[in-house]
Chain A
Amino acid sequence: MHRKTIDLWVGLFVILGAASLLFLALKAGNVSSIGSFKSIYTVSAKFDNIGGLKPQAAVKSAGVVVGRVTSIRFDDKSYQALVTIDMDAGYKFPKDSSAKILTAGLLGEQYVGIEPGGDTANLGQGDRIARTQSAAVLEDLINQFIYSKAAEGKGGSQ
């Protein structure tokens, strides 16, 4: 085959490969999620129990993603989990907003839900969300259920 024809086909082959990688990165891997928020402010929150929350988990308010969990550490002073969150600077929340850990569906991933408060001042860089609610741990729920059932049983027999 002619030299130029070969080079043409090889060029096409390489471009096809590059296009596939691009497709995988954009469509399957969502490259935009790496730096999706152009400008951010960092807030933190302490939870008694974070359940199965992981870094990179979504932070949602009214179901809309407004930030991402960047790191989770254990604070050995207060024996709580310290969760750091990058919030999209496009969304402002009152200072007294509360954060709770929620689960998407029965088997879904855990995420942080933010409920806006009523303060006039907004959360800013480095602020702490004071009011938090822990993840619902299945064992605790079952325990509660059993105790309440047992209490009911006692009340009935007397």
Chain B
Amino acid sequence: MIGRFLEWIGRPVREVVEHTGFAARSLLTLLGQCLGALRRPALISEQIHFIGNYSLVIIVVSGLFVGMVLGLQGYYTLNSYGAEEQLGKVVALSLLRELGPVVTALLFAGRAGTSLTAQIGLMKAGEQLSAMEMMAINPIQRVLAPRFLAGIIAMPILAAIFSAVGIVGGYLIGVKLIGVDAGAFWSQMQAGVDIWKDIFNGVIKSVVFGVVVTFTALFQGYQAQPTPEDVARATTRTVVTASLLVWGLDFVLTALMFNK
């Protein structure tokens, strides 16, 4: 009786440990193959085009709207303290520190991560990866590593574009529509935003999220059973796992970076 109860507790714990360890080892294997993949930049550039360029529209549109909403909401809150001039600072800091990297990562998981998982999953279901191995081509180096590197490169670029467009959106609403003084908007922003503490840390965050989201997508695709149902489930798992990891890591990174 007690033995079965302990088993009932122990099994999920062992599974979690096993799964985490397996994912970590896969990440190491993937990182090891990245050097080899760097010798074929054409493959990486093709994937940046697929992952990055095609995500541009959704990133730009979302960034614009997030910035505009921040401008509106920030104005109504700040207005009650008579501190509308701080609007630029509020918009810029929330975008650079949090919303830029996090929302971009979530959109990235939905837009690019899912397609990566489906692609790898179908390649596996169609035995294309096994066929490559038969031809003495390492599928991790040839297929996974270029996508991984492309994700790491594309994600910070997308996050930077998101933040920049968001600030423009906040400017449009705050200055052009509501009528906050343009000089105060920009000067308060420049006084409040630190290059290293805010902008550079935001870039670091987006690189970390790029690694996490791209790896989750590739891992789920590679581990999917070669059936239509499981490829579909793997795609869902990518979005759920990647989003949860992004939230969790964002909290940890924020606590480490902005603890003063």
Binding site for B on A (CB under 8 A): 1, 3, 6-7, 9-10, 12-14, 16-17, 19-21, 23-25, 27-31, 33-34, 107
B160 touches A30 (CB 8 A): no
Contact residues in B for A34 (Cβ distance below 8 Å): 195
CB contacts under 8 Å to A, within B20-68, are: 42, 45-46, 48-49, 52-53, 56
CB distance from B179 to the nearest CB of A (A): 20
A10 touches B48 (CB 8 A): yes
Contact residues in A for B156 (Cβ distance below 8 Å): 17
A29 touches B157 (CB 8 A): no
* Cα(A72)–Cα(B157), bound, Å: 38
* Cα(A6)–Cα(B81), bound, Å: 51
* A-B residue pairs, 8 tightest by C-beta: A17-B157, A30-B190, A20-B164, A20-B160, A29-B195, A29-B193, A20-B161, A28-B92
CB distance from A76 to the nearest CB of B (A): 24
- Offer 28 A-B interface pairs, CB within 8 angstroms, sorted by A: A1-B49, A6-B49, A9-B53, A10-B45, A10-B52, A13-B48, A13-B49, A13-B52, A13-B154, A13-B157, A17-B158, A17-B161, A21-B164, A21-B203, A24-B167, A25-B195, A27-B186, A27-B190, A28-B189, A28-B190, A28-B193, A29-B190, A29-B193, A29-B194, A30-B191, A30-B193, A31-B195, A33-B190
* Cα(A12)–Cα(B193), bound, Å: 27
From A10, A21, A24, A30, residue with most partner B Cβ within 10 Å = A24
B198 touches A29 (CB 8 A): yes
From A12, A28, A33, residue with most partner B Cβ within 10 Å = A28
Contact residues in B for A6 (Cβ distance below 8 Å): 45-46, 49
Contact residues in A for B45 (Cβ distance below 8 Å): 6-7, 10
Binding site for A on B (CB under 8 A): 42, 45-46, 48-49, 52-53, 56, 81, 83, 92, 96, 153-154, 156-158, 160-161, 163-165, 167, 186, 189-191, 193-195, 198-199, 203
A28-B92, A29-B199 given as contacts; is B157 within 8 A of A14 (CB)?
yes
The secondary-structure label for the interface of chain A is helix
Given contacts A20-B160, A29-B194, 15 further A-B contacts (CB under 8 A): A3-B42, A6-B46, A9-B49, A13-B48, A13-B56, A14-B48, A17-B160, A21-B199, A24-B160, A24-B163, A24-B164, A25-B199, A28-B190, A29-B193, A107-B81
Contact residues in A for B203 (Cβ distance below 8 Å): 21
From A9, A10, A31, residue with most partner B Cβ within 10 Å = A10
CB distance from B170 to the nearest CB of A (A): 10
Find the B residue at minimum CB distance from A5. B49
* Cα(A27)–Cα(B87), bound, Å: 15
CB distance from A126 to the nearest CB of B (A): 28
Contact residues in A for B42 (Cβ distance below 8 Å): 3
Contact residues in B for A10 (Cβ distance below 8 Å): 45, 48-49, 52-53
* Cα(A6)–Cα(B186), bound, Å: 37
Contact of B199 among A14, A16, A24 (CB under 8 A): A24
Contact residues in B for A7 (Cβ distance below 8 Å): 45
A3-B42, A30-B193, A33-B190 given as contacts; is B96 within 8 A of A24 (CB)?
yes
* Cα(A77)–Cα(B46), bound, Å: 66
* Cα(A3)–Cα(B42), bound, Å: 8
Find the B residue at minimum CB distance from A108. B83
Contact residues in A for B48 (Cβ distance below 8 Å): 10, 13-14
A17-B157, A17-B160, A23-B164 given as contacts; is B49 within 8 A of A28 (CB)?
no
Find the A residue at minimum CB distance from B171. A27
Find the A residue at minimum CB distance from B153. A14
Find the B residue at minimum CB distance from A26. B190
* Cα(A20)–Cα(B164), bound, Å: 6
* Cα(A99)–Cα(B198), bound, Å: 31
Find the A residue at minimum CB distance from B46. A6
Contact residues in B for A20 (Cβ distance below 8 Å): 157, 160-161, 163-165
